Structure 1
């Protein structure tokens, strides 16, 4: 069974497997199997309620499913003796928020970061998944300027009824602010546009002190929303507020953000490319991303083909998902114990079917061995009983994997020792 060690990091207790050593600040550790530094995130008491357990399951499933260079990858996953969930990923050098705090970025950096963000979103959106909380601190960057999107705790499948309380306020699309109950993946495009503008100017695009102030700033830039959009506002208080706003015309983005195009203009030599030059700017792409009408707002796929991103755009290297993500579990209303069993099963599936076979979720770090040994999921079962032997793995299978075909599993994994790679 797995050995667990206890470490204190900035006042937080971590119970980590012996595979991880030298826990340090920012919740980093050395992975003795992948031979690299990883990030360790602790999800405290994920079985405290049905909602928390379901949220944990949702994130685990998404991290297992999303395999893309611009999406944070899953290196390891385990449940501690105290029944805290630990999610281990590659340690990225920083995030966009820390870079933005230093001041405006050069266009070349902002462009490359925007391209990678949109490349990741194209993949996520092709699965029908909406991130819903895209912001600078959830976009991770390493010292090679490679970018990975994280923070999928609030991600959802696009559906007929969506909750409005999503996305950090400064990056929230107007259709969410106007209390619409249905919205699309283009809320992520709005958020990425806000992040892009923030990179270029070194401060938030809509630095508002309240929701009302933020919407007022959006209207000053984009002009008053069309009547048909106003008619979709279902909340009378919100409708009354919007009706009282002064009527505004859409601003010219070249006037609103003159510095964006000065540093981002592409110099072309051929006479026939002059028209391309006029639209190969940050402002032109930004205008296409910041649109009230979601039908007119550009999507991730088309944004990638915008001339501003021509330097990086390669349709053959901008993949989409191969299989549809199964969200059926998200409609279930189960007890805590049931969700607990399902979470344990999902952890078990990752550790046996993927880690054992060396199928590292992370696209950058590769295991040095053909077969990666795994540890037992936990030192206790769902009822808190201690598991003291390798043979107790069978108890985990029976307790938490009830939906598996036992005969099929026995044929594929005859003993706990063979599963764990222990001779």
Structure 2
């Protein structure tokens, strides 16, 4: 059994294994302070994320389980890597991930990005999405804050707490507003990987402009701004809307023709504008995929088909529909932690044998 030590950081009590020390606050998450720490075994800097008292709230526990389950099953260079997970004697959950220097939100706001960096970050986003989508998963919350970057400009997608399987019945309130696809705002109950592609297109546009392309004040204003630039949604898209209130809203919109996207990107190469147009199609069926985006001329300097892997299996998310009592979710969470450590031990043995 590991030994636990208590440390207080900015008023937050950490009860962690003695493997970790030198805790420093890095920021605030929904669950409290996020800290960097030194891993005495690997000698690396890592990040500690505390989820306080998750077993007291089924919604928090379910979201935490979902994130841990996905981090356990998804392994890719452009996804954040979970290094460790443990449950403290006080039954708080701690996720330990690799340390990254900053996130894309901070990078965009620090200074204008040179073209090659915009291309490289976009390439890595699409490379990560190709892998995630091949595992049958939609991220659903892609935004600059969830794209972590290190000092080598390596980019990693994080925060899988809202991720779902393709074809799962879903709610409309996912994805931070500026990056929310039209079909989400139109209250579709089933949507596809294309919602992540829309978000990626919005992020690419923001990297080139320095500001969001669709800065809506609320979801209604957001949709109006989208139509002001891209025109009214096509009839085949409206035909898939089942909410009467949403249909009334669409009927109330003044007729608008799409405006040339190039007018919003002064001095930007045509290939960049072209891929944005393909990512920001109002109809998700017409949107480019992550795989085809990687093969677009804009990605020519980085595209290597043999180094853009897909998942070796689909991730099982069948539990997501389960209405389980709290004690059953608790058992599942403990089992997920055990599975992680069993897998970690197997990897160590395989490395030694090699």
**Deviations along 1:253-282, whole A, 9 cap, x unmatched?**
122222322xxxxxxxxxxxxxxxxx6x11
Matches within 5 A, 1:140-219: 140-219=148-227
Partner in structure 2 of residue 301 of structure 1: 291
Matched, 1:245 2:258: no
Offset at 1:206? 0.8
Correspondence 1:110 to 2:81: no
Using a 3 Å threshold, how does the CA distance of structure 1 residues 48 and 218 change in structure 2: closer, same or farther? same
Supply the distance in 1 between the matched residues of 2:288 and 2:236 (Cα, whole angstroms): 19
Name the CA shift for 1:103/1:233 in 2 (closer, same or farther; >3 Å): farther
- Contact kept? 1:46, 1:53, Cα under 8 Å: yes
- Find the structure with the greater CA-based Rg: 1
Aligned to 1:260: 268
Aligned residue in 2 for 1:11? 11
Residue 227 in structure 1 maps to residue 217 in structure 2: no
Report the 3-state secondary structure (helix = DSSP H, G, I; strand = E; otherwise coil) of the residue aligned with 2:214. coil
Q: Distance in 1 between matches of 2:101 and 2:283?
A: 37
Is the Cα contact below 8 Å between 1:154 and 1:166 reproduced in 2?
Answer: yes
**In 1: Cα distance, 2:134 partner to 2:44 partner:** 31
Q: How many residues in Structure 1 have an aligned counterpart in Structure 2?
A: 345
Shift of 1:353: 3.1
The 1:353/1:255 distance shift into structure 2, 3 A limit, reads closer
Q: How high is the TM-score relative to the length of structure 1?
A: 0.79
Gaps of 5+ in 1: 262-278, 361-368, 372-423
- CA drift of 1:359 comes to 8.1
Q: Which moved more, 1:71-80 or 1:205-214?
A: 205-214
State the alpha-carbon separation in 2 of the partners of residues 256 and 2 from structure 1.
Answer: 56
C-alpha separation between the residues in 2 aligned to 1:304 and 1:229? 26
Q: 1:85 is matched with which residue? A: 93
Deviations 1:211-230 (A, max 9, x none): 11111110011111112212
- What SS does the corresponding residue of 1:193 show, helix, strand or coil? helix
Q: Structure 1 residue 324 and structure 2 residue 303: aligned?
A: no
Which among 309, 324, 327 is matched to residue 334 of structure 1?
324
Partner of 2:70: 62
What residue number does 2:31 align with? none
Q: Distance in 1 between matches of 2:169 and 2:318?
A: 15
- Displacement of 1:89 in angstroms is 0.5
The 3-state SS of whatever aligns with 2:284 is coil
2:161 partner SS: helix
Displacement of 1:177 in angstroms is 0.4
Shift in CA distance, 19/110, structure 1 to aligned 2, threshold 3 Å? same
* SS of alignment partner, residue 37 of structure 2: strand
2:208 and 2:265 in contact (8 A); partners too: no
Q: Quick one: structure 1 residues 327 and 223, their matched pair in 2 at CA, closer, same or farther if it must change by over 3 Å?
A: same
CA drift of 1:355 comes to 4.1
- Indicate if the aligned counterparts of 1:133 and 1:155 stay in contact, CA closer than 8 A: yes
Q: Which residue of 1 aligns with 2:29?
A: none
Which whole-Å deviations, capped at 9, do the CAs of 1:77-119 have from their partners, x for residues lacking one? Answer: 0001111110001010000000111243111111100000000
Instruction: Indicate whether 1:48 and 2:38 are aligned.
Output: no
CA offset digits 1:30-72 (Å, max 9, x no partner): 0011111001111111111333222222111100100000000
Q: Structure 1 runs of 4+ off > 3 angstroms?
A: none
Matched, 1:353 2:346: no
| 1:291 and 2:265 matched | no
Higher strand proportion = 2
Deviations 1:185-237 (A, max 9, x none): 11000001111111111111111211111111100111111122122222222
Separation (CA, whole Å) in 2 of partners of 1:90 and 1:196: 25
Distance 1:253 1:259 in 2: 12
What RMSD, in angstroms, separates the aligned Cα atoms of the two structures?
1.7
User: Could you say which structure has the greater relative contact order, defined with CA pairs below 8 angstroms and 6 or more residues apart?
Assistant: 1
1:252 is displaced (CA, Å) by 1.1
